[in-house]
Amino acid sequence: MSKIVIVGAGYAGVMAAAHLDRAGIPFTVVNNHDYHYFTTLLHEAAGGRGPAENYQVPIKEVLRKDTSELVIDEITGVDREKKVVKGKAGEYAYDYLIYSLGWISEYFGIKGLKENSMSITNLDSAVQIRQHIENEFKAYTQDHDPRHLRIALGGAGLTGIELMGELVDYIPTLCASLGISYNDVDMQCIEAMPTILPMVAEHLRPYVFETLTKKGARLRTGTKIMEVTPGVVHLDGGEKVEAGTIVWTGGVRANPLLADSGFTVDRRGKAKVNSFLQSTDDDHIFIAGDSAWAEDENGKPYPPTAQVAEQMGACVAHNLAALLAGKPMKNFKASLKGTLCSLGAEVGVGDAFGIPIKGATAGLMKEGSKIKYLWELGGVRLAGDRGKNVMQL
């Protein structure tokens, strides 16, 4: 019997695992936690909307059959010649590998940025950001140093704007609980490009500005971060922003293991795949999610989004099952349903199937997308049990 190993239980890996589990095909998932977390909702955990446990599902709740095995380990490399993935705790031999180790922050070589900022890369780091902000605000009540109340976010893409949306809802409550005037808080999102949210229709961007600035945020465009030293963001015009909390939300790249393991990668470290999502370097390796350099029928690379990752996960499970059964595999084609950007718990902005939406409609659709995802992962069982947590019902 062929040995199947899945590395990484993000959106792509866990979806592939759920499909193989349902099909009763034996496999092993190697992941660094025993839970799968919702990467697209980490800004909620960082901004204090809900406790960390609301944003995760134990992998054992997804894998129900005894043909599925979960191993907790951190993967450090792939030896394609020996067909072995290496972890810190052991080695895992495979006949077929599903590689879905996701992304890391992209720092673009900006001096001091990695060392002197936080980033929302996983559930732990999201919780650390919330705790850090709370500690800074508590410190302000002791020494009244205004730097404790300054929060600087670097980059106004979806991550930066969604995090700011959470902060403008949460920080007033935090201030009230500590006896701090919200007027003394300075929260700024610093964006190098002339506009925020390039993926959202241009005519909707003023709504984002209005919603967030009315609630106390500053959105600064055309302002590039050049360097970060401890507690200081250095901007291109020479201005220095002294901030107790500095969060980098300026971009992502694929996990570097792919490049380190000799795969053909693009400028953001994604490995080239064919239309079946097999590595072009090795057809025993399927690559799914933000690590995959996959293109649509017009040669346009798919974006590193959760909806694409989930669909890739389902596709690699299907193709692997087909391959093992001697049946034809199918070409991957993502169905792009749109982009939704929350602006706090109530409202949002984006598009559904190309139709621009904003306000409560977008906020509700974003909430609905949480249940839809859980449904696809584990049917009524997960949507019912976990859905009420993640939607705080």
Q: For binding to ligand NAD (CB under 6 A), which residues are involved?
A: 40, 108, 110, 154-160, 162, 190-193, 224-225, 249-252, 303-305, 339-341
Classify 273 as helix, strand or coil: strand
- Angle of helix 360-390 relative to helix 306-324, nearest 10 degrees? 60
Q: Where are the beta strands (DSSP E) in 156-211?
A: 186-190
Helices and strands: H and E segment counts in the chain: 10, 26
The residue type found at 250 is G
Least distance (Å) from ligand NAD to the CB of residue 225? 4
Least distance (Å) from ligand NAD to the CB of residue 362? 11
CB 379 within 8 A of CB 19: no
Shorter beta-carbon distance to ligand NAD: residue 170 or 248: 248
1 CB-side CA count, 13 A: 9
Residue nearest to ligand NAD (CB): 157
Report how far residue 271's alpha carbon sits from residue 9's, in angstroms, rounded to the nearest whole number: 18
Shorter beta-carbon distance to ligand NAD: residue 56 or 305: 305
Q: Which two tokens stand for residue 133?
A: 């902000």
Q: Where do we find the tokens 């909430």?
A: 367
Report how far residue 367's alpha carbon sits from residue 163's, in angstroms, rounded to the nearest whole number: 16
Q: In DSSP terms, which residues pair with 232 in a beta bridge? A: 229, 242
Least distance (Å) from ligand NAD to the CB of residue 9? 18
Least distance (Å) from ligand NAD to the CB of residue 308? 9
Shorter beta-carbon distance to ligand NAD: residue 4 or 156: 156
Shorter beta-carbon distance to ligand NAD: residue 100 or 159: 159
Q: In DSSP terms, which residues pair with 359 in a beta bridge? A: 348
Shorter beta-carbon distance to ligand NAD: residue 15 or 110: 110
Name every residue whose Cβ is closer than 8 Å to that of residue 348 and which is 6 or more positions away in sequence.
165, 340, 341, 342, 357, 358, 359, 362, 363, 365, 366
Least distance (Å) from ligand NAD to the CB of residue 244? 19
Shorter beta-carbon distance to ligand NAD: residue 68 or 291: 291
Report how far residue 286's alpha carbon sits from residue 292's, in angstroms, rounded to the nearest whole number: 9
Least distance (Å) from ligand NAD to the CB of residue 224? 4
Of the residues 162, 166, 310, 367, only one is catalytic, namely 162
Shorter beta-carbon distance to ligand NAD: residue 13 or 154: 154
Whether residue 191 lies in the annotated active site: no
Shorter beta-carbon distance to ligand NAD: residue 88 or 300: 300
Least distance (Å) from ligand NAD to the CB of residue 168? 17
Q: Where are the beta strands (DSSP E) in 136-237?
A: 150-154, 186-190, 217-220, 225-229, 232-235
Report how far residue 205's alpha carbon sits from residue 141's, in angstroms, rounded to the nearest whole number: 36
Nearest partner of 48 among 156, 177, 148, judged by Cα:
177
Q: Is 173 exposed, middle or buried (0-12, 13-18, 19+ CB in 10 A)?
A: exposed
Least distance (Å) from ligand NAD to the CB of residue 7? 20
Torsion of CA 202, 367, 255, 160, to 10 degrees: 50
State the catalytic residues: 162
